[in-house]
A and B are shown apart, each in its own frame.
Chain A
């Protein structure tokens, strides 16, 4: 079945770059997503990438997609304390991409 894997924890120093990695198994995924969850809150869509792209940049965020290896990464440049959160990778599946499979989430801790 479909599976999405992520490292569970990542610590970086403020000002450094963070790289959060994700692997997925469904090669027919149309879109891949990154969500951010701050403590006690719902999930917020950060960015997404269409499966025929290999890179997408949005301000401090860079998404890299290696479709051959089914590997997705999220790079956060100049990481700030406000970036501390859980980051979820997700792939869309189903005939219309209507269902998602989420990874377990990576807890990013930003150290001063």
Chain B
């Protein structure tokens, strides 16, 4: 069966520090992968999506970047965090079929 792992679950980082959030998928190949951010009390904002290794599409200009070094690995990064980067980050995958499967999320607090 397919599973998605996202870590860490929570993270507190100072302003200006780097960020790396990792997401891996098991049990499928060539998935579409997504990074979403959910600000407190608000909906989901699509940050990046990838349809294959090395292929990244960005939905909004921002302080973050994404990479897909392997078929089932998706990484969200920043060189220098801003206070406004705080939020709940969700990784998801789909195979073009019925719906997305989401990871359990990472709560990032930038202080």
Contact = CB atoms under 8 A, between A and B. Distances in A.
- Chain A interface bracket (under 10, 10 to 19, 20 to 34, 35 or more): 20 to 34
A105 B32 CA distance: 23
Interface stretch (A12-20, A38-46, A58-66, A70-78): A38-46
What DSSP secondary structure best describes chain B's contact surface?
strand
B49 A99 contact: yes
Contact of B51 (A33, A98, A105): A98
A23 B73 CA distance: 34
A41 B88 CA distance: 9
Interface residues of B, number: 21
B98 A98 contact: no
Contacts, number: 47
A73 to B, nearest CB: 18
A31 B98 CA distance: 8
A103 B96 contact: no
Given A33-B99, A96-B96, A41 B43 contact: no
B96 A43 contact: no
B13 to A, nearest CB: 19
Interface in A25-61: 31, 33, 35, 40-45, 48
B67 interface: no
Nearest to A97: B96
A88 interface: yes
Interface in A94-112: 96-100, 102-105
Interface in B1-37: 6, 32
Contacts of B96: 96-98
Given A40-B105, A45-B100, A88-B43, 18 more contacts: A33-B99, A35-B102, A40-B107, A41-B104, A42-B6, A42-B105, A43-B44, A43-B92, A43-B100, A44-B102, A45-B101, A96-B96, A98-B51, A100-B46, A100-B100, A103-B43, A105-B43, A105-B44
Return the 10 tightest CB-CB contacts between A and B, nearest first: A104-B43, A42-B102, A43-B102, A102-B44, A45-B99, A42-B104, A96-B96, A42-B105, A98-B96, A98-B32
